[in-house]
Structure formats: C-alpha cells, structure tokens
Amino acid sequence: MTVAPTGAESSKADVPQLPTTLDELVETAQRCETAGAAMIHVHIRDDDHRPTLDVTRLTDTVAALRENTTLVVQLSSGGSVHDPLEKRLQVLDAAPDSCSLTMGTVNFGDDVFSNPWGFITELYQLSQEREVVPEFELFDLGHVHALHRLLASYGLPYGGRVHCDLVMNVPGGMPGTADALVAAVNALPDEVTSWSATGIGRSTLTVALAALAKGGHLRVGMEDVLTLARGVPVEHNDQLVSRAVELGRLAQREPMTPTEARDLLQTRPAA
C-alpha cells in the first residue's frame, strides 16, 4: 500500500488538513505506516505551502522520513504541471529509494502534464545510474505501450524489478473504471513484477476494488481524493489507508510491511 498524502494540486487554503509542512508530513507518514502503508509518494511544499522541487528541502524530507518511519520513500519526479523538466530531473539528487516516472504526456484537467520521450529516457537512465527504483506512472493505455518501448530500449530498472502504478480518472487520461483497469493490466509488459492502482476523485473505490480483484496493490491518499463520501471530507490520510486496508482484508489480502515492499521492489540497501 502506498500513501500519496499531499500532491501538488490542492491548496492549503482550500484544504487546511493537507500535510504541507515537514512536521505534518512526518506525522502523516507515521500514522499511515501504523495504519498499514508501506511506501509514501512525496510531493513537498515551500514555506507558503506552494509546490516546490527545492533539492535541499527534498533531501531534508527524505532524511526526516527515514529517521521517523521505515516507509519506502518515493519522491515525485512529476512535481506540478508548472515545474520545468530540468528541475524534475534534479529530484534524484535527493537520493530517494524510489521515484515516480510518468510514461507520457497527458492532458491534466485544463493543464498539460508534460513528459516527452527524451525526458523519460533521461530520467530513466539517471535512475539506473543513481540506483533509484522507478515506479512507472501510467495514466493511459498509450503509456503502457511506451513502457514496452522503454524496457526494450534501455533494459530493466535498478534492482531488476518493474513496478507500475495505474493513475486512473485524471481528466485527460484513462477513465477510472474496472474495464479500463483490466485493459491496462492485460497490456502490461511481461517484465512487470508488480503494479498498483489509484483512482482519482470519485473513482477511488471502483479502482481499489478492481485492483484488488485483479491482484494489484493499492495507492490511496489526499493527492488523489479529498472526500470519504459525498460531502464527507478526509480529515487525515490515515483514514484512507485504514479504509483500503479494510477493503484488502475483505478480499483476504494483507498489507505488506515496508520490509516486504523493499524486498518486492529491490530498493537500494540502507547505506
């Protein structure tokens, strides 16, 4: 189970319970680990709670999460739709266990989340060099196709495992339906060793249930959904983790521990 607690899209003014400071992020990470998360997908904010890719801040964040949790630390290389590609490559300077790596450009609501092929291949090769395990973010079936091309051209990731996350229901990407999930999973390259799925907004439960039924892992968090039900705001990310754990238990699936997740992903051993 991955928790994506913050994202880059919601503002602190609109969602005061969003963890945007380092203290809030660490507290969230601890509570989500207790609730059953094994990995954290991290976007950070500046002193004004705006998205930032400042490398010093990212490095401090990785250190604080390592000090206070055993979670696998995954930094977002996606940032916000406004971040330049060069800044997004620098995320690896903060030496996380894992980084997200989106497999293509996608319309993102009224914006464009830009991931040209040259950027994808540069980030991928950098992740191999720096021994950072990528999580391939797949927003559309075309991104699955691009993953075949990447693996054929540049070989396996650091650690030899191939882990993907289906990000569904972004306006511009694939819909958050069971049918779309099955189509995407059936098209994954044979090299894929594990995958998770997350459904944005209202599709969160549909996607989680479909992923469990199809044997996948789950990502949840306030990056992806801000309500538990219509008109019921999420007060803390651990509510989403606990609910996903409960869904898993109904499906007789136990959440992995961070140690098991490290083994699954073959992340770099601690220095």
Residue 89 is a binding residue for ligand KMH (CB under 6 A): no
The helix (run of H) or strand (run of E) holding residue 123 is helix 117-130
35, 71, 113, 265: which one contacts ligand KMH (CB under 6 A)? 113
The region of 30-38, 69-77, 119-127, 142-150 touching Zn ion under the rule CB under 5 A is 69-77
159 interacts with, out of Zn ion, ligand KMH, none, CB within 5 to 8 A per kind: none
Closest to 165 measured CA to CA, from 223, 251, 250, 90: 223
Residues 16-45 that bind ligand KMH (CB under 6 A): none
- Rule CB under 6 A: say whether 108 interacts with ligand KMH: yes
- Cβ–Cβ < 8 Å for 200, 225: yes
Size of residue set near ligand KMH by CB under 6 A: 12
Query: How many residues sit in the footprint of Zn ion (CB under 5 A)?
Result: 1
What's the closest the beta carbon of residue 54 comes to ligand KMH, in angstroms?
16
The radius of gyration of the chain from alpha carbons, rounded to an integer in Å, stands at: 17
Q: Does 115 bind ligand KMH (CB under 6 A)?
A: no
Strands (E), the chain: 2-3, 39-42, 44-45, 51-52, 72-75, 98-102, 106-108, 111-113, 133-138, 163-168, 194-199, 217-220, 227-229, 232-233
Pick the stretch among 78-86, 146-154, 183-191, 237-245 that binds ligand KMH (CB under 6 A): 78-86
Asked if residue 139 lies in contact with residue 120, where contact means CB atoms within 8 angstroms, the answer is no
The answer to whether the beta carbons of residues 82 and 74 sit under 8 Å apart is no
State CA 251 to chain mean position distance: 23
Joined tokens for residue 208: 């989680």
Binder to Zn ion among 2, 6, 20, 76 (CB under 5 A)?
Answer: 76
Question: Which of 12, 15, 165 is closest to 78 using CA atoms?
Answer: 165
- Residue 137 binds which entry of Zn ion, ligand KMH, none, with Cβ cut-offs from 5 to 8 Å by kind? ligand KMH
**Is residue 78 close enough to count as binding ligand KMH by CB under 6 A?**
yes
From the CB of 231, what's the least distance to ligand KMH, in Å? 25
> Binding residues for ligand KMH, per CB under 6 A?
7-8, 76-78, 80-81, 100, 102, 108, 113, 137
